[in-house]
Structure 1
Amino acid sequence: MAARPSARPAGLPPSGSSWPRGTAGTAARGPLSCVRRRSRHSASSSRTRSACWPAAGTGVSRRADLLRLATWFAEADTKEAHRIFAAAFGAYPSRHLLMGPDEVGGRATASTSWWDAGPVDVPVSLRERGDRAARGRTARVPDPGLDRERLLAEADEEVARKAGAAAELIAVGDLSEARITRAACELLLDKLSDLLAVTPDLTGLVTSVDADLDLALVVVPRPGGMTRVYSDDGRLAVHDLGLSVTSLTDVAMADDDQTGTEG
């Protein structure tokens, strides 16, 4: 029978023999000392990597970031340090929480006694027969025709209201010290806000056109001046601007006349 090869690593003493001893009872430098040194080096390297890596295990050291943050804390005053802390760690105060109004009666909880809790409405079928099934006929689906007609009527009223307000503004023309109705004032504010949103810095004459209402709002810069408009809601004061309203038809006719004169 062939001899089984030895499974022990090369360089180790054969089985059954003792490790060589050095002087004064110390182990001699040999394979065991090499194994000890390698194990100690591996444990030290593992501790070093654990100290450098974050808990998430991404393999990226945050040491430079933490040192930079510590430098900011050292150089900042108390107020600035609080701001840096809040920005770095997300420790913002709760600004979106709002306590609700006080309840007139305390809300019943699981620990509230039946004597103190309010009564609970129980359906008759559940109270008498213990049955939760719905009784009676199923309700019919409502006809949406009435709602459609109502919405169309409201839309027609809105169009008529805006048309009347536009006609009133066109009839007034120059809005300085003018008195208009509430609907006309609302339309004026809508057109003026749209115009200022498009051209916030007015250096010359600007016109806002609404073809559906046949209306043109003309705004002219007047440094130091003021346009006052009165309505049932109060007084509208527009500083450094002159406001006037005209019809698009009149504007087109004026352009045609000017073109014919130049020709």
Structure 2
Amino acid sequence: MSEPAPTLFAMTDGTGEGTVVAGAGPVDRVRLEALRYAVNDEAVQYIGIMRLFTSGLTGLLSDQSAAEVRARLAETGLDVDEDTVEARLSYLVEHGNLARSPRETEARSLADYLRNRARYQLSQRGELVHRHVEELLGHSDAAREVSSEMLGGILTGLSRLARYDTAGIADADPDELAREIGTLFAQFDRLVHSTREFYAYLTQALTRYDLDRGEYQAFKTALIDYLQRFVDEVQRHMPQIADRLGEVHPHVVALCERANAGQRLLDLDGRVARRAPGLQPEDWVSLRTWFSGEPGRASDADVVRQLATEAMRSLLTNLRRIATSADREHGRYADLVRLAGWFDASPDDEAHALWAAAFGLYSCRHLGFLADDPERPVPPTTSWWTAPSAEVPMMLRRTGTRHVVGRTSRTVDYSAAKAARLAEREAAERRRRTALDELDRHRGPLDHVRLSDAARDELLEVYAGSLGRAAVEGPGGTPIPLTGCVLLVEHTPGANTVLLAPSGRMTFVDRRLSVVAEAEAATARTTTTAPATATATATATATATATATARHPVARGPASWEAS
């Protein structure tokens, strides 16, 4: 005997017992035919018709004729003639989405009979398929939170069921027990479904190669940090839930039998209808596998933690790619989005010009070139229909591409780095102007004047320039130009100038510093007769340096260096 074919499909009947089918049998193909209406060329009309039969609960038990369907479609803005509606309804009947109603119609005239001779109602398969179609159409690619709050509810439900012993199960109310089990599995289904959706979005986001620094930071904060919190919560609840499952496991069969002891629904064939998940012993396998695992297979909760680790690795890979070059362009996503915006806002003529400029796809032109036979050249005015065929290389004719050995290196774009440096320079200039404006506000002697650290640093900067110019300028002090005023430095033996700043105090020995107007500085230079020699300047400078360093050996390092 030959080996059995591999199992590809598993169907379930009304009792919930699984029927294993080898390969895609005829029944499976017939069931999958119910999906065709959502992907063919007339999908808009088919989806509109199916929405009439599935909207609300009123459409589930009602039957409608083609005329009624056409009238309701017109109310939604979809204008279709009655013959086309009849064809669409027959198509849906053939593929199992609708069924013909057996209800007899009352017709007062032949026209009414012809119009209402066929009525249609929704089938069970059609309702299931269209529910999933609407869910797919309404799905968005945005991130969705994991329902981690269900972990506490699952633990509470298992703890409540674990308190049932054999006598307690026999005395329990079947409906109450079924409600507790159904609630437990509804919470478990919500947890599993939201976890799968979150990881699917996480995979899509991690595989993007065009994440810039801003998107990377938002992605790291919004998703990875949230993922870590979810994993920690799963890890905190998993041991307790596993212990409760171990306590409930010996009583699962008895719990399900007692929950199903009430009055049950029978289908047309006399079989017991399938109830909510959790009321069959085999339904508990998935719950136990998710939290506790099984021999030879890790639990899904452990897989969640492993996937979180892989997400962290992918995040580090993106971070390494972003950090390979300071301002290197990693993707054309932003450029293409910007180009698409230009196309959307451009009129037709500008859009054609933009297309040609962006992609180089100009209109067709006849290119004239020297032929192989120089005695009979082909002029550029020769039509392509009558011109001789050009010799096309074998590689170009077969593959459509011309093989070129090597490639040009990509030029690194430093425009962003230049812009950053210019912004830093502009910020430094703004800080310098602010410091100079602060000095300008303190007109007069600077003794015991409190300045900000920035203004003090700028004062020391300009003061350093006066030390080498004192011998050249002569008596009357050394004026150093500021913004709209000058800093006047005068050699005054026995008189010191003390500057106060948030970082400390600095003393200028035998120096008088004052901020005056330019005219006052010129007057002071002409009326002062005390000579200032280069030797005295050097001595006073050394004294000021020593004093400032001795009084403030730590906080005045930059100021002492400026004074020297």
TM-score tier (shorter)? 0.3 to 0.5
Which is bigger in relative contact order (C-alpha 8 A, separation at least 6)? 1
The structure whose residues are more often strand, as a share, is 1
TM-score, length-scaled by structure 1: 0.39
The structure whose residues are more often helix, as a share, is 2
